[in-house]
Structures are given as structure tokens and as C-alpha cells.
Structure 1
Amino acid sequence: MTATGPPARTAGPAGSAAGLGRAAAARARRPGPYLLVGAAYWLVLSVVLRHTPPASDFGQHAAAVEQVREDWRHPANPLLAAPGTGSPYYSPYIVGLGLLAKASGVAGWVALRWCGALNVAVLVAGVGAYARTLSARALAPVYALAAFSLLWGVRGTEWSGFCGVWSLTRGASYPSAFAVGLTFLLWAWTDRLVTTPAGPRAARRWGAHAALGAAGGVLLLIHPITALAAAVGALATVAARQRTWSWHIGAGWAVTAAAAAGAAAAWPYFDVWTLAGDATLDAVHRTLYQQPLRWYGLAAVGLPALVWRARAGGRWGARDPLVLMFAADCAIAGYGWLSGHYTYGRVFALLLVPPQFALAVELAELPRWTRLRRVLAPLAAAALCCGLAAQIGAVVPRRLLPVDLGHPVRWHDYRWVVARTHQGDVVLTDSYQASHVLPAYGIRLVAPTWPDPSTPPAERDRRFGDLFAYLDSATPDPVRRDIAHRWGARWLLLGQDEHIPYQGTLVAWDVPSHERLIRLDAADGGGSGGG
């Protein structure tokens, strides 16, 4: 006698539907490729940022955060012992961080450093959100993040607002990095407003337009040149994707523009509109035009994909948002070169987005057997390898690489100066690194590291003239004492090759940098400052 079990169950239509539903739910819960890649990218950069000492522009931003922490209503000049009225350093980003530092009790430089990880998260989220407006393919955001991070120049370069891996390891906490991430989010938001059909509740839609405009106004206050490129991208999206027009659609975009202008005009700390014709930093930005291969060469691999998208009959044809954005950004960069207003060269930070994202989207969208994909794929792979080789030294220690691929210069640690001075003390120095780092810890300078429109040009020139005169060995001692007293200088920091007579006491000598810290005598400095 053979024992038999219960008859096997057969899945009917209901069971089949339930199984498909469970499978769909499981797929929905499964993390997508961009979530995994973006999280890994964020983690690596966050670890690197945690161990990167202050350098470059970190000091001036940290000093601004500290001044807001001390007096958020009337913050002083972040670099000088002078008022800070009208300083564009005091953007919503800096003021927000200063208030956060005040509430938490941490120093301004600590709040700024920890904000780097937040900015990377905003950047990763923004890249993913904008890439999804261009393609529904799961790998499109992954390719976009890789292209945006690595397809820059043939050598690692650093500039505020440039978001290659090399540059981000130092500049992720800057307002410009947050502004770029916010730009991508605003572009995705603009695309959503354009492509979502107008519903019966027009007031709610106009509220969304007003919110988008207010966010754009905040972006303008945080980083004006990035806001210019962001406006170009938003207009390109509207021009390419808005297929029908009516009075309420036009009124909605008018509300967006009005809200942006209103938010920017209402900011009490400085008038952003006065920066439009400011040429103070044009000479500094000339370098952005001088070495295009080093700065942007690898992004050229995306130009064939951009040309493909511009062809009539393509996905959007000549009205492709990336094509329109690229043309407008090139016009802005060209204007900066021809007019001598080289500050407009900072638009390169987002001018590379169209070729980078066009390459990423076409690699994700095109079938494998198409001729264009067979050309683009090896070119992209080679360019990404070159970009990785150019930038990997910024995140991987030298000892872990088989060959030396170049690493960012590690700046000196000036905590030996901070330990012997007090917050608010004025230091006389022309050291490039010291003048950039010391303000992060509350130390003031005689001359600013970067010009600030809140300091009149005549006073800036006078400060620089006095600094150079003080450090000139031929300057008479009485003149040197007058200079120190005029600016309230209590300390003198001399480099290895600087030898001038001084009335003071050698307090410390740093062996790695060969710099000497001298406490000036009361008769030689320690005045009230000003000028």
C-alpha cells in the first residue's frame, strides 16, 4: 500500500496575480543601482573630508560662519578687524550654518566641516533627480554621476564650484558645492512643473511656481554665478519641454520669476544686484580660460552624444534641453573671454553638464548593437579611466597606489599659531597658506585673502600697501610701528626667507614650514585697528 500525500496545489489566476504582486513589491523594496553607487560615493567622500585639513577657501567661509555665530544681526568682516556690512559672504548658507553653530555650541569651522557630507548628499540626490528627467533607465543616473565626477580635465584640478572628485575633497563644504547640488534639484523641479498637466487647482500649481522661484532666489544669494547657469538650465528645460502655452502657464512662470527676485531683494545682509558689474575678481578667474585641456578636456568625449541629440528627429530634436543649455552656457563663457570679465568663466562648472549627461543618457538609452553606442562606449570607458587616474590620488593614500598618480598638496597645520594667540587677534603675514587657514580659527588679517565688496577698494589697496611696506626690510622702524598700530596687529608671522627687524619676542618656530611667530611689543602694535 502506497501512502499518498495531499494533492499538489495549482495556482489559479488569483494565485498568479498574488505572486506577481509579491514579486513587484520585492523589486520595489530592492535598492536600485543608483542608491548603492550614490551611497558608496557619499561614504568615500565623507571619510576623505573628515581627514582633510583646512585649506584653500575653507578659512574664509569658516570665519564667516564664526562671525554669524558671534553676532548674527551684525556680523563683522570675516577676514579683517572691520565691520562686515554689505559683505556677500553672509549668504543664507553661511547664516544658516552660523545659527546652527550657535545653537549647538560648536565652533564655526567645525560646523562648516561637517556640512561637507550634507553637501555631497545634496549633490548626489540632485544628479540622480535630474538624470531621471532625461531617461527612465536605471543606469542613467549611475552613468551621470560617474561622468559628472570624472570627466573633467586630464589632471586633477581644484576650484570652488567645480565638482570633480579632486575638487570636492576640499570644496565640498563650500557654499558653491551646495549651490550646484541645489541647481540639479531645481532643474528636476522645473521639469516636473513643465511636464505635469495643469490640474483644476491652479492656485496650488501657482504655489509650486512661487516656491520654485523662492528657492531660485536663495540660490542667487548663495552663489550668483551658479544661479546664472541654473537659470539658463531652467529656461532651456521650459523651452524644450513646454509644448503648449496659455495665459495661466505664462502667468505661472511669471510668478516664478517674481518670487526669485523678491526673495533675493528681501535678504537683509547684502544687495546681490550690486555684484552684477563687480570686476574685482576677474583677474583671478583668467586662469579658467588658459588651460582648457587640463581643466575640461575629458568632457569633450560627450560632444558626439550631444550632437546626436541635436539632430532633427532625435528624442527632442533641436529643442533638446541639454543642447539649448550648452549653447547658452558657451555664449556666457565666450562673453567672459571677449569682454575680459573672466569671472563668468565659472559657468564652466555647469557648462560641462550637457556633454557629460548626454553621454550618460545615450549610453543608457541606445541599444547595444547601434553604431553610435559601439563608438561611444569605448570612448567613454577610456575617458573615465583617464579621469579616474587623474583624480584617484585625492581619495586614495599614496601608499595604497602602485604608482604615484598625483595627490593634492597637503597644507601646513597652523594650530601651533592658534594655540598661542587669541580669537580676534590680528596677524601680520603675507603667507598664502597662513592667510587662508588662520581666519578659520578667528584670527584676523591686515589684508584680505580675497577682496570683499564690503571693504572699499581704496582701503583694500591701503591695507595691501601697508602689509608690503611692513615686510620690506628697507622700511624704517617708526613707519613699521605706525603700520602695526594702525591695524591693531599683535603678531607677526614670518616665512623662511623673510628677514626684517622687529620689536618683539620670538614665541614659536614651526619646523615643517620654517615659519616664525613673533609677539609684537605693545609700542610696536596692539592698536585698535581700523583705517
Structure 2
Amino acid sequence: MRTFPPTGPARLPAPRRAAVRPADAPPPGPAWRVTPYFVLGGVFWLVISAAAWRVPMCCDLGTHAAVVERLKADLLNPAHPMADLPGAGSPYYSPYSVVQGLFAQLTELPGRLVVRLFGPVNLLVLITGLGRFTRLFSTRAWAPVFALVFSAVLWGTAVTWWSGFLGLLSMTGTLSYPSTFAIGLTFHIWALTGRLTERSSRTPRWRAAPLEYAALGVLTGVVVLVHPITAIGAVLGTAGLAVARKGAWSRAAAVRWALAGAGALAVTVTWPYCDIFTLVGDTGIDSMHRALYEDLTGRYWLAALLGGPALLLRLRRDRRDPLALMTLLFWLVVLYGWASGHYTYGRLLAVAPVPAQVALAVELARPRPWSTARRALAPLAAAGACLGFVSAQAGAVAPSLGVRGVERPPHWDTYGWAAQHIPPGETVLADDYYVVRSLPGYGPFLVAPVWPDPALAEPERLRRKAAVKRYLSPSTPRHARAAIARRYGVHWLLLTPEEHLPEEAVVVAFSPHSGEVLARVEYGRG
């Protein structure tokens, strides 16, 4: 019977070997007890939640806040997240965002605050999921603690700032994004998969928890709707865990996995807000993800250098080690994205190092006596974690620790000074990088959405972007500007000091920090 490699000493007397419990068995004694992971994970949750709260709204948080604003206004038929158009078919309206919208309706809180309040929730899902996943491979109390530390700091010495990545610096800025929730839920999916496949390897007939397999499929379907690219990682990880088990290809196993697949399909097909399958083959955001393939060595060398030997140690004990299989599957898809030009698959780099980080944690948590390899790994892992923190992750908590000279999360200007003058549901014409990513989070619409979205045909979105450029050009005559404004229902302009202010615009407010100007325009209905 194939099981995940045990975590006890390599040589044990026969009576003690018989007493080693399976990875998914409950610990002896009380059903719940205070563990190092509960204490230190709780401290980590408090510190990172506070650090994330101190980061002002930036990057894509405005987009996610706009989604909540539209759902708050109309939960069943929300408008397009960014433009004054119908929102039917937008994948932004996932189960996760609908819960946020319902919460915003009940509390009457603004969308940008609701999104930020969900950051600690996302972190709780992530921490508990990582702990459960690690316990598949080790019953040692410190293994999940090591896994949490390594997943936070053991990446590389170059900064990776992207949503869904588990490095401390990236996490503090993107903790409240749906991608963080999706990865946390993915860890829970993997943990459930590990327990189910272990149980089915002991009871190969159709007696092994059909409802649990259906629940596994439902959870996977939720991840597909919340963050489709993370769902690919969830499925690949599930496959790696299943293939590592004896009986993975039996007839009974096929029935169980068919039930899980049916559960996932049922969730995705019946979701009323969008057809997630319209994203299959969509290459609209591939180009922006090309940056994920830059400086791979600088971003991941610590995880590879220290996690790689841990995976090799596991492979020596079991050629079908699940953590090694998961790593192989993740990197094959990442390489496919690079070779094919579908750079969006580079988002799997967010989870690709995790099996190696967990493998290292499990090896270092094994009881003594240690092998020569583990004795060498321990100080190297400690040094690598310190180096990774100082060189790439310290900026996450730099304000609290007084650390200087490190990269910190972005610090964008806020736009409450402008939004307070704009009535809900009115359209603003703007083209500045920061404005178009932040202002919708306060409630207004834009002429041209920032990102592609199936709810708005891409040629139309590009026409709108071109219209914004024409309007702001100093050479565009007034009658042409009026035609653009009437076509898109524009009543407001938000311009940087460098952009041309039309003579017919009336200044309403300006930012004392950036010099940006909010102006009102009225062209009539002509």
C-alpha cells in the first residue's frame, strides 16, 4: 500500500512502527489543542493583516472595489465594473465578489473598504489551508510553521510584486484580492484530496465518501469562477496527489473522480453571472504577463536551491512522491506558457515553488537523529530565509520595523477629494495610469475600462481608448470633443497637470498633492 512518506525516523523498532499514525488521522488526546502553528500562525495573521491595512489603495484594488460597488447597487444585474454598460458576462462577478457585494449591501460600507476588510479573511483561509496541506506529509508540530515561513520569505533575492504570490511583500499589497482567496482555497482542496486518496487507497471499493468527492468538485468549481488561472494549479496539484496513490487508476477511483468533475462542472455551468468558458483561448492579457518570465533566477533561486534537495530526498524514498509530481506538473505548464507565448500561464509561478517549500519544511521538522543531508540543510535554510527576507521581503513590514533602503509596497494617491464631487453612476473621462485604476473604486464609471472583459467587446474597448486620446489631444476641435462626450455620457474630466484642460471645462476641485484637476463639462444633448 502506497502512502505519503512517513515523517518519523528512518529506522524504528517494529512496535513503534506499528504505532505511527496515518497523516490524516486525528492526533492523540483532545480533539483540539494549542499548537505552535496556532500561536505563531495567529501572530503572522495579525502582523500581516496590520501591514496590509497600512498600504493605501493601489494597483488593482480599485478594480475589485468597483466590482463591489456595482454589486452593491444591483446584486442581481450589476453594471460593467468600469463602464456605464451592462455587466452581464463579466467574470469579475464570481461567488467571492457576490458575497462581498451582499456584505456591502447589508453594512452599507463602500466597496473599497469591503475589499480591504476581506484581506484578513483571505489570509485566514490561506494560513489554515497551508497548515492542513502540510499535515498531509508530516505529523510534527513544527512542520506547518516552517512551511509558512518558507512560503513567505524563501523565494529569491529579487522582488516579485504580483497578485496571488505568497511572498511577504506581494502579500501585503494584494492580500485582499480574489487571487489570494483562491490560492488559500486551493490549499484546502489539496488537503482534502490527500485525505480522500489516502482513504481510498485503503478502501478501494465504492465506500469512500462520495459526498466528499462531490464537495471537492464544488470547491474546485468555486476556484474556477473566482480565479481561473489558479484553478489550473488546483487541478494539477490534485492530479499530482492522486497519481501518487495506489489505485489512482482503478475503476472505483474513476467513478469518484468523475463525481468530483461533475461537481466542478455543475458549479461553473450553472453560475448565472457569466460563462467562464468564454475565457478559454483568450489571449487578451498574455502580453502583460510576459513580465512574470523575467529574471526567474533572481526571483526563485533560493526556493530552488534549498527546496530542490528536499524534493530529491523524498524522491529517493518514493519515486512517485506527490510533492515532486506537483512541482513537475507546475513547471511543465509554466514552460509551456513561455514556449507558446501564452504568458498568462506564468501565473502558476505563484504556486510552483510551494511543494518544494513544504518539502523543505517537512524534512527539517523530522525528529532526530538527522541524516548528513538534513544537518546541512538546516543552517542553509535558516540563512536562506534571512537572506530572502532582508533582500526582497522586508519592505512588507518596513514601516513597523524602521527598516530603510528596501523596496516597499506602492504608495498611490487617493481620490476621495475628487469622488466626493461626482454623483454616483456618472462617467469620468481620464487617461492617467493611476486615475483609471483607482477612481472606479470610489463609484464613478470610466469611458474606457483598463482591462479586457468579455462583457465589453475588445474592439469597442479599444475604440473607447482611442476616443479618450482624441478628446485629450490639444489639436481636437471643440465640436469633436462634444461629440465624444455626448456619445459616452461624459460630464467630468480628471486630468493630470500635464494634460490639456479644454477651455469649456469648469474646474471643480484639485489635488494639493499631485496637482490633478477635476473639471465638469456640459455639451448638451445636441
TM-score normalised according to structure 1 size: 0.89
CA spacing shift, 1:28–1:207, aligned 2, 3 Å: closer
Q: Aligned pairs, how many? A: 496
Amino acid at match of 1:284: M
Secondary structure of 1:178's counterpart equals helix
SS at match of 2:509: strand
Instruction: Give 1:106's aligned residue.
Output: 109
Is the Cα–Cα contact under 8 Å of residues 336 and 344 in structure 1 kept in the other structure?
yes
Deviation readout 1:477-503 (Å, 9 max, x if unpaired): 221221122111111111122234341
Matches within 5 A, 1:233-244: 233-243=237-247
2:472 and 2:311 map into 1 onto residues whose CA distance is 54
Q: After superposition, give the CA deviation of every residue in 1:357-393 in whole Å (9 maximum; x if it has no partner).
A: 1111111126454221132122211221122112122
Of stretches 240-249 and 273-282 in structure 1, the one that deviates more from structure 2 is: 240-249
1:168 paired to 2:171: yes
Is the CA contact (8 Å cut-off) linking 1:368 and 1:374 kept in structure 2? no
1:359 maps to what in 2? Answer: 360
**C-alpha distance in 1, partners of 2:182/2:459?**
31
Given candidates 250, 255, 260, the residue that maps to 1:251 is: 255
Report the equivalent of 2:323. 322
State the alpha-carbon separation in 1 of the partners of residues 407 and 248 from structure 2.
52
Counterpart residue type for residue 181 of structure 1: G
Partner of 1:464: 465
Aligned twin of 1:332: 333
Question: Do residues 265 (structure 1) and 266 (structure 2) align?
Answer: no
Q: 8 Å contact 2:418–2:510 — kept in the other structure?
A: no
Relative contact order: is structure 1 or structure 2 higher (C-alpha 8 Å, sep ≥ 6)?
A: 2
Query: Partner residue of 1:79?
Result: 82
Equivalent residue for 2:308, pick from 286, 303, 307: 303
Does the 8 Å contact 2:204/2:253 carry over to 1?
Answer: no
Q: Is the 8 A contact 1:155 1:391 kept in 2?
A: no
- Map of 2:22 onto structure 1: none
Query: Partners of 1:111 and 1:204 in 2: how far apart?
Result: 40
What does residue range 20-169 of structure 1 map to in structure 2 within 5 Å? 31-169=34-172
Cα shift at 1:516: 1.2
Matches within 5 A, 1:276-291: 276-291=280-295
Give the distance between the partners of 1:515 and 1:294, measured in 2 at CA.
37
Q: CA-to-partner distance for each residue in 1:274-321, whole Å, 9 max, x for gaps?
A: 21100000000000001213433332231121222223xx1xx12111
Q: Which range moves more in the overlay, 130-139 or 488-497?
A: 488-497
What's the secondary structure of 1:241's corresponding residue?
A: coil
Distance change >3 Å, CA 446–CA 231, structure 1 → 2: same
What is the alpha-carbon distance in structure 2 between the residues aligned to residue 244 and residue 176 of structure 1? 30
Moved more, 354-363 or 31-40: 354-363
1:5 aligned residue: none
1:519-530 to 2 correspondence within 5 Å? Answer: 519-523=520-524
1:185-224: per-residue Cα shift (whole Å, max 9, x none)? Answer: 0100011111125669956711111111111111111111
Deviations 1:27-75 (A, max 9, x none): 8775211011110010012212333221111111111112112112211
Tell me the residue number matched to 1:13: none
* Distance (whole Å) between structure 2 residues aligned to residue 395 and residue 450 of structure 1: 30
Confirm or deny: 8 A CA contact 1:367 1:373 kept in the other structure. Answer: no
Given that 1:505 and 1:521 are in contact with CA atoms closer than 8 Å, whether structure 2 keeps it comes out as: no
Q: Is the 8 A contact 2:45 2:123 kept in 1?
A: yes
Superposed, which structure 2 residues align to 1:415-454 within 5 Å? 415-454=416-455
Distance between the aligned counterparts of 2:291 and 2:249, measured in 1? 43
Alignment match, 1:209? 213
Alignment of 1:394 with 2:396, yes or no, is: yes
Larger of the two Rg values belongs to structure: 1
Contact 1:288–1:295 at 8 Å: present in 2 too? no
For residues 324 and 446 of structure 1, do their structure 2 counterparts lie closer, same or farther at Cα, with a shift above 3 Å needed? same
Alpha-carbon distance in structure 2 between the residues aligned to 1:345 and 1:29 = 39
Q: Secondary structure at the match of 2:319?
A: helix
1:367-378 aligned within 5 A: 367=368, 369-378=370-379
**Paired residue secondary structure (1:492):** strand
How far off is 1:104 after superposition?
Answer: 2.6
Measured after TM superposition, the shift of residue 242 of structure 1 is 3.3
Structure 1: tracts of 5 or more residues without a match:
1-23
Partner Cα separation in structure 2 for residue 85 and residue 424 of structure 1: 17
Task: Describe the SS at the equivalent of 1:508.
Answer: strand
Name the residue aligned to 2:344: 343
Letter in structure 1 aligned against 2:326: M
Q: Compared with structure 1, are the counterparts of its residues 109 and 242 closer, same or farther at alpha carbon in structure 2 (3 Å cutoff)?
A: farther
Give, in whole Å, the separation in 1 of the partners of 2:144 and 2:348.
22
Mean CA deviation greater in 63-72 or 369-378: 369-378
Pick closer, same or farther for the CA change 1:498–1:397 going to 2, 3 Å: same
**Aligned counterpart, 1:382:** 383
Query: Which 5+ residue runs of structure 2 have no aligned equivalent?
Result: 1-27
1:179 maps to 182
Structure 1 vs Structure 2: percent identity of aligned residues? 44
Are the structure 2 counterparts of residues 127 and 478 from structure 1 closer, same or farther at C-alpha, using a change threshold of 3 Å? Answer: same
Q: How does 1:2-17 map to 2 (within 5 A)?
A: none
1:290 partner letter = E
Retained in 2: the 8 A contact 1:472–1:500? no
Structure 2 distance, partners of 1:153, 1:502, is 52
Whether the 8 Å CA contact 1:153–1:298 is kept in 2: the answer is: yes
Deviation at residue 463 of structure 1 after TM alignment: 0.5
Query: Cα RMSD over matched residues?
Result: 2.1
Match status 1:227 vs 2:227:
no
